[in-house]
Structure 1
């Protein structure tokens, strides 16, 4: 739905948020609800983009690890260019003109022409109806727009939280993106022997692709469902993670097969197939399983902070390739504008899909941090991430996840931010390998 009430001060040919073509006088984008009343400044951002380069490299870890099962999966072609992100600027209200006669009442300030008039009686929503967050008077229709002022309402995915037993996750749109293109899934199940298994999946939509928000949601849901089916059957958790990543890839690939007429806005935005990254963790039977494709990460933070933390994944990215090849050190590579160009992702445009999976058996309790680059951009090294994790996160994982999202927002919030926390408790009879350095 498009709202054409009063002309904008600055005419735009397309929406700054989703590039949907606009008509003269539009106040809001009919596709994404972007507020067109003020022209935004272009942020200095580094969205997740895809590049056409082969992936490779082994994970740098601080635990002993077991071999990866499985091999390459499906193949395709390269993905396309990056996309910009936006934020809104508040427009100043016009000032009133004081009366020359001090004894006379001052005239009312001129109304802002961009603010629709509100009839408090006619606009008041019926009991139980959702009230508009903009005018605070109108009711919200089924499309998510105010019936009084036409303002698009915040979407449910702009901020999501979930706590399930000892695992918790939080996802936030951030301060610069016009929507949240991250997604997550957390769950618990039981192994055949009755022991618990805890799962966390985090996905980051590729901004240069079509429908990245749908891609991340489809991948997270498919991977989670695959694990909830395979783990109770007795599939080894590492093999189950490998199969779950393949299932997630199939779900994302299926989005590219949908009829073009059902996705008309794609023709105005991107032609690349939907794509996302994925990282996940399983805690089961005293093991910690990590799997990933892309540049989202898993960190290990020991409860005893005198022990060193560790990063358990290695990015499928241009920066990681430069470091692995010895062409740059890590600081130089991640300072480069190409650092966040990914070399591995899920989607019909991906190269040979090579899920990375690693199995650990920690010998001490700790916290598993599963996150997108919207968080680790502000706490890149394992030591920085450990410093950002609150001391009581093991006992209060949801609060810990909220604090970490706040850390990213305080740092600038240039990207969507998603983090899941899984406290790991060592089984009494377990005597696994010690944490060391590599």
Structure 2
């Protein structure tokens, strides 16, 4: 993010003491507590626009340089058994003393008379297991006693059936990790416990004339970038396309809120001014002032260590005119459809590196290799030294594409030539796909920062017939 060294925050920490097992989806696991239902617990610088770039010289320019054990239940019932020979009941008490056994059912004796025992446990009247033919196994207590059946341990009651899963409430979120659990109000899956991605972690929006993609990246714990894209009708019946991209300053308080407030305020201001016939460049200047006011208002909330802040870059494409406005180090690039023509960078960074180059103290390569290169000297926020919105207007003489992005992208394609190589050749026809490709390029390069880009095709107005 601008104005700070890169930090590896990682993914959100799991809400339990033990370290969770890694998940293919990359989300931390929630504590594996037993569900309330009682079921089983879940498993655990800068280049000014090049006059020879081939897209026309600036029409005008204003603004300066800003300052995450099994139940062994018996198979049979627990009641008395039946005698295999007679089918009558067998006493479960072993018989009263002095009652002779049935003459046709001689007792099992240690000396082998009657039915031979299968196991002999010693002399005297030790119990023996009787397993004679046609009889159930019985326990014999010696001569003069009735044989008794070995009592079976009582069987455990059957487990109640698991309650059937009810229908998922309308609008309920489904876990992106297990694809089946419902996400609770805290943002965790009730089935597998994984934290879910925030809504702003990855966002895409596409209109007919513009598309934008924003991604959290691979190192930051939240997305502090924001964007707004829109289209509106002008008084002459033509269409104006708007794209605004903001990058929250991570060293400030509430950077995500700052970028969202700035993007929304600038977009609203432009959509209010342009349909009334306002000059696009003046409308861009006023939009940046409105964005600054929105960010300044956030500083009024108590508990801030420092004021919320962000950078901003915006583009307005109207009938034959391209207007760019910016504060900070977010950038805009021009890439012609004819890749044999040179591309160009349309903005100048408000950064330490840019100041060193402008003052002639360092070359561009040396300045941007310095650890202080990304320290910004201009931003939107209550603690900004002075608000100096930069605006510039261009009249390209050929069709092309405007790329509006944060430093999370241009860190991996800094020069206009590098950006042109990464941008797909059909960007004008497929702006959303092109924005996705650019974000993917940054993620493949390491994704050390949040990445946001808007792609705005610029069609050349037809020449009037003489």
TM-score calculated relative to the size of structure 1? 0.71
Show the counterpart of 2:168.
126
Please, which of 125, 141, 165 is the counterpart of residue 208 of structure 2?
165
Q: Which runs of 5+ in 2 are unaligned?
A: 1-7, 21-25, 31-44, 69-161
1:338 aligns with 2:338: no
Show the counterpart of 2:240.
197
1:300 aligns with 2:292: no
Please, which of 255, 268, 272 is the counterpart of residue 298 of structure 2?
255
Please, which of 408, 411, 430 is the counterpart of residue 374 of structure 1?
408
**CA deviation vs aligned residue, 1:88-122 (integer Å, no higher than 9, x gap):** 5xxxxxxxxxxxxxxxxxxxxxxxxxxxxxxx968
Show the counterpart of 2:270.
227
Contact 1:174–1:417 (8 Å) recurs in 2: yes
Show the counterpart of 1:25.
17
Show the counterpart of 2:82.
none
Question: What does 1:409-428 align with in structure 2 at a 5 Å threshold?
Answer: 409-428=443-462
Contact 1:286–1:430 (8 Å) recurs in 2: no
Q: Which runs of 5+ in 1 are unaligned?
A: 1-14, 38-55, 76-87, 89-119, 261-265, 432-438
Show the counterpart of 2:58.
65
Show the counterpart of 1:313.
347
Contact 1:146–1:152 (8 Å) recurs in 2: yes
The structural deviation recorded for 1:124 is: 7.8
RMSD between aligned residues: 3.2
The structural deviation recorded for 1:19 is: 11
Show the counterpart of 1:12.
none
| Change in CA separation of 1:122 and 1:204 when aligned onto 2, cut-off 3 Å | farther
CA distance in 1, matches of 2:431, 2:298: 33
| Change in CA separation of 1:300 and 1:150 when aligned onto 2, cut-off 3 Å | same
1:139 aligns with 2:131: no
Show the counterpart of 1:241.
284
The structural deviation recorded for 1:251 is: 0.6
3-state DSSP of counterpart to 1:368:
strand
The structural deviation recorded for 1:125 is: 7.2
1:281 aligns with 2:315: yes
Contact 1:17–1:34 (8 Å) recurs in 2: no
The structural deviation recorded for 1:276 is: 0.5
The structural deviation recorded for 1:139 is: 1.9
CA distance in 2, matches of 1:247, 1:176: 31
1:408 aligns with 2:435: no
**CA deviation vs aligned residue, 1:111-164 (integer Å, no higher than 9, x gap):** xxxxxxxxx968887254322234545321233233355432111111111111
Residue correspondences, number: 343
Contact 1:69–1:239 (8 Å) recurs in 2: no
CA distance in 2, matches of 1:58, 1:412: 25
Show the counterpart of 1:358.
392
Name which one, 1 or 2, has greater alpha-carbon Rg: 2
Contact 1:295–1:316 (8 Å) recurs in 2: yes
CA distance in 2, matches of 1:417, 1:278: 14
3-state DSSP of counterpart to 1:299:
strand
Show the counterpart of 2:91.
none
| Change in CA separation of 1:19 and 1:259 when aligned onto 2, cut-off 3 Å | farther
3-state DSSP of counterpart to 2:275:
coil
Show the counterpart of 2:417.
383
3-state DSSP of counterpart to 1:290:
strand
Worse overlay, 56-65 or 354-363 = 56-65
| Change in CA separation of 1:140 and 1:27 when aligned onto 2, cut-off 3 Å | farther
The structural deviation recorded for 1:34 is: 8.5
